[in-house]
Amino acid sequence: MFYPPLHSLLSRALLLCLPALLGVLPLGAGTSGNTAGTSPAGTAQPGPRSSSGSSLAGSDEPATVAPSQGTGKLPEFPSELYNKLSDATRPQWRQLYRPTVTRCLNGRPQAAMALGAVVADLFLAAQARDSQQVRNLLQDEETIEKTLGIAESMGGFRTEVLGAAEQSDWSRLGIGIEKLSSGQRRYFRSQKDGPLAELAYIGQWLRTFQTCHAVVLARGLEDHQLAIGSPQIIAEMNRRLLLLSKPETETNRCLRLLHKRLAGLAKLWPADGSASSVSNPAARLRRSGEILGDAVGQLIQEEDTPVPGAMVAPKP
């Protein structure tokens, strides 16, 4: 009988055991977030780009597309969509600012969405290269974090963002905002508050889409995908919400409204390639802008009667 050499057997054993010895490491670490700036008049200038164009740096939870919708990564942060808008036009970023509402009277779910929305606004301020607006938003962020009991743990991240803004280090600023956002979600999960992490994700994209819609509508851009990035992001928002709440049994007013708004967006921008509920592209864009205006107004801004229609960016 033939017996393989001992060194051959050891080599094979090592190859079989190597994956278990190394473990499985998350692959979310990528390149820095994309930020673009403005001239003194507030118009966009090309911002620093990462080598891959990805905004997934520091992400502890890279979004994935459901199997029925294909495979691939989704953008984790608003900077990727904002940069695409900068490539297509010259947005007046500072005219898209909004007053932040830091009093969250409808409980922790609303506070988590407001937290994510302020992250989107921080990326917006980074696009505008507006250090003072970054300072203002960090104060708002800290106030909401106190409501959620995470302010002390997030202090280091806020300090890093503030330092980059004060030094006008725009590349480091984008990375710092990404770290802050990812750090908030990781902390929620570590404290068994995973649903708050999902709601922060949803709030971030609701505010981002509202901003992008305003630019696309005001500039009359033909590429309407610039308003949402991808229908898959809407599908991912719905997926995350359905994991923590069912529309037929939900009793929280904030979450009931969120189910309604996301369902409306999904019908307008179906991720499975089916027909939209509104066939005319211009009408679809206007309608989704109205839904986003309602969602941000009612769920984040606490407006009982939000202003009809989308926020509109002034034309150049």
The confidence score (pLDDT) of residue 271 equals 95
Q: Look at residue 106 in the predicted model and tell me its pLDDT.
A: 72
Show the low-confidence residues of the chain (pLDDT under 50): 1-4, 6-59, 62-71, 304-310, 312-316
What integer pLDDT is reported at residue 61 of this predicted model? 53
Q: What is the pLDDT of residue 72?
A: 58
Residue the block writes with tokens 């009793």: 251
pLDDT, residue 100, reads 86
- At 308 the pLDDT is 40
Distance CA 166, CA 105 (A): 33
Whole-number average pLDDT of the chain:
80
57-114 pLDDT, tens digit each: 334 554 444 433 444 578 889 999 999 999 999 999 999 999 988 877 678 999 999 9
Long-range contact set of residues 148-157: C-beta below 8 Å, sequence gap at least 24: 148/108, 148/111, 148/112, 148/115, 148/196, 150/184, 150/187, 150/188, 150/191, 153/183, 153/187, 154/180, 154/183, 154/184, 154/187, 157/183, 157/184
The share of the chain scoring above pLDDT 90, in percent, equals 66
- Residue 126 CA to residue 92 CA, distance in Å, equals 13
Q: What are phi and psi of 74, to 5 degrees?
A: -110, 155
Rg of the chain, C-alpha, whole Å: 21
Give the pLDDT score at 103. Answer: 78
pTM over 0.85: no
Q: Determine the pLDDT at residue 309.
A: 41
What is the structure's pLDDT at 244? 92
Q: What angle in degrees, to the nearest 10, is found between the helix axes of 79-88 and 108-127?
A: 40
pLDDT at residue 105, rounded to an integer = 65
The CB-side HSE value for 124 (13 A sphere, CA atoms) comes to 28
Buried b / exposed e along 95-115 (16+ C-beta atoms within 10 A): ebbeebbbebebebbbbbbbb
pLDDT at 46: 43
302 membership: H or E segment, kind and range: none
